């Protein structure tokens, strides 16, 4: 068995898995006795993303095999509808060590931080927010904004603005060094 473990249930439809760093493979098992392994040399890419939730930021590592199949390992474990348990204490060291082992076993593996697809979605959200603000300011010429409109704009600016800005600034896909995983990519900042 590996020295590092991470136990997590990704979603309501998943079982809790124990992820293991074995000498030559990423291994896992669940409470039904099912298990699997993915040799480090067979891993084509690790993609690290994070996203906002009601519990703060959730971090995710998508592990892709050369064959195209893959798995996702998250920092927070599903407990019940809308409730997740923070497991960053085991996630961050686990992913840091996994990245190093994959790099050693497969020098051609890709190590990606962020997601261009999610970045595009956030760009569209940002543009929609700008359009909504434009309508808000245009309403001053037509008798002024309503109370609901004003509340909506304040919420967009105070809550949505920083989230949108962060995602646009840092969310686009880029490479990272697997032997020095930036702490902000795994919630270890």
How high is the pLDDT of residue 121? Answer: 73
Entry pTM: 0.75
Residue 8 near residue 20, CB atoms below 8 Å: no
Q: Give pairs for 162-168: CB < 8 Å, separation 24+.
A: 163/52, 164/122, 164/125, 164/126, 164/129, 165/126, 167/118, 167/119, 167/122, 168/119, 168/122, 168/123, 168/126
Dihedral class, residue 56 (left if φ above 0, else alpha if ψ from -120 to 50, else beta): left
Dihedral class, residue 181 (left if φ above 0, else alpha if ψ from -120 to 50, else beta): beta
Residues contacting 129, CB < 8 A, separation 6+:
156, 160, 161, 164
What does the pLDDT profile of the chain (189 residues) look like in tens digits?
A: 446 899 999 888 888 999 999 999 999 999 888 999 999 999 999 999 887 776 678 899 999 999 989 999 999 998 888 788 899 999 999 999 999 999 999 999 999 998 766 667 767 777 777 777 777 767 666 666 666 767 777 777 776 776 666 666 666 678 899 999 999 889 886
How high is the pLDDT of residue 134? Answer: 74
5-115+173-185 CATH, one of 3.30.365.10, 2.30.29.30, 3.30.930.10, 3.30.1310.10: 2.30.29.30
From residue 147, give the alpha-carbon distance in Å to each of 132, 140, 141, 156: 15, 12, 16, 14
Residues contacting 183, CB < 8 A, separation 6+:
92, 189
Structure tokens, 30: 């669940």
């Amino acid at each position: 068995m590996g020295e590092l473990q991470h136990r997590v249930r990704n979603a309501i439809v998943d079982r809790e898995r124990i992820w293991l760093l074995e000498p030559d493979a990423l291994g896992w098992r669940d409470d039904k006795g099912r298990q699997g392994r993915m040799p480090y040399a067979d891993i084509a890419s690790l993609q690290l993303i994070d996203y906002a939730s009601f519990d703060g930021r959730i971090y995710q590592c998508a592990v892709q095999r050369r064959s195209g199949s893959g798995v996702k390992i998250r920092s927070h474990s599903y407990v019940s509808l809308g409730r997740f348990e923070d497991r960053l204490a085991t996630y961050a060291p686990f992913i840091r060590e996994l990245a190093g082992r994959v790099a050693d076993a497969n020098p051609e593996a890709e190590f990606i931080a962020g997601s261009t697809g999610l970045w595009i979605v956030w760009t569209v959200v940002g543009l929609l927010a700008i359009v909504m603000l434009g309508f808000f300011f245009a309403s001053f010429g037509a008798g002024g904004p309503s109370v609901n409109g004003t509340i909506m704009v304040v919420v967009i600016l105070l809550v949505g603005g920083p989230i949108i800005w962060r995602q646009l600034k840092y969310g686009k896909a880029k490479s990272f060094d697997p032997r020095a995983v930036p702490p902000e990519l795994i919630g270890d900042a």
